[in-house]
Amino acid sequence: MREEVNNKYWLAFYTRPRHEFTARTDILHLGIEVYLPVVTVMKKWSDRKKRVTEPLFKSYIFAYCNEAERLQILQSKSIVTTVFYNGKPAHVPEWQIEGVRRMLEGNEEVKIVEGIKKGVRIKITDGPFAGVEGVIYSTGNNEKYVAVSLDILNRSVIAKLPVKDIEILKAV
């Protein structure tokens, strides 16, 4: 993980509806590191089906920036506001950003579940997600899933993962 340089942190920004890709372009034009997690999904219309790329978190985008850069980002017409926590811009830990990146790499079965708060905290020990920490989430048919939670957004990324590839850390 990188050291926080010049008070730079990962911050979450709330975008106008369906403006995530425009916001990413705007932030890149400012020369600021930006992350927009995306997934490819099958969309069905009355006359056709098509695979489309869409944001994993609707109306959210992440930027690695300092306070001056945050204020520049807010000038973009596609950005509504910074996500705040206790009256201050909410810093997203880099391990959460990296966890989402690693889970999205080559994984076709990713979905979003809102508000996962309970479960057992685990660390993945094997496979492409090795080293990522998360929370076990069970569906009604006893399949096990691992969730890497971005707590400030109250959403979690869920991916299928074999139980043999996890190590229990502690109860949440």
Q: Is residue 46 part of a domain?
A: yes
Confidence of residue 107 (pLDDT cuts 50, 70, 90): low
CA 144/CA 139 separation, integer angstroms: 7
Residue 34 tokens read as 């930006």
Query: What residues make up the domain containing 112?
Result: 105-171
pLDDT in the model for residue 2: 57
Give pLDDT tens digits for 117-161. Answer: 557 777 788 777 778 887 776 644 556 666 666 666 777 777 777
The total number of structural domains in the chain stands at 2
pLDDT in the model for residue 125: 80
Q: Is residue 4 part of a domain?
A: no
Q: Is residue 77 part of a domain?
A: yes
Residue 97 tokens read as 């950003």
pLDDT in the model for residue 152: 65
Whether 17 and 70 map to the same domain: the answer is: yes
pLDDT in the model for residue 160: 74
Q: Is residue 98 part of a domain?
A: no
Whether 13 and 88 map to the same domain: the answer is: yes
Choosing from 92, 116, 139, the residue where a domain stops is 92
Whether 67 and 46 map to the same domain: the answer is: yes
Mean pLDDT confidence for 55-64:
95
Confidence of residue 72 (pLDDT cuts 50, 70, 90): very high
Computed from CA positions of residues 78, 80, 82, 83, in that sequence, does the dihedral angle turn out positive or negative? negative
Choosing from 92, 126, 160, the residue where a domain stops is 92
- Residue 118: which CATH number? 2.30.30
Give pLDDT tens digits for 11-57. Answer: 999 999 999 999 999 999 999 999 999 988 888 888 988 988 999 99
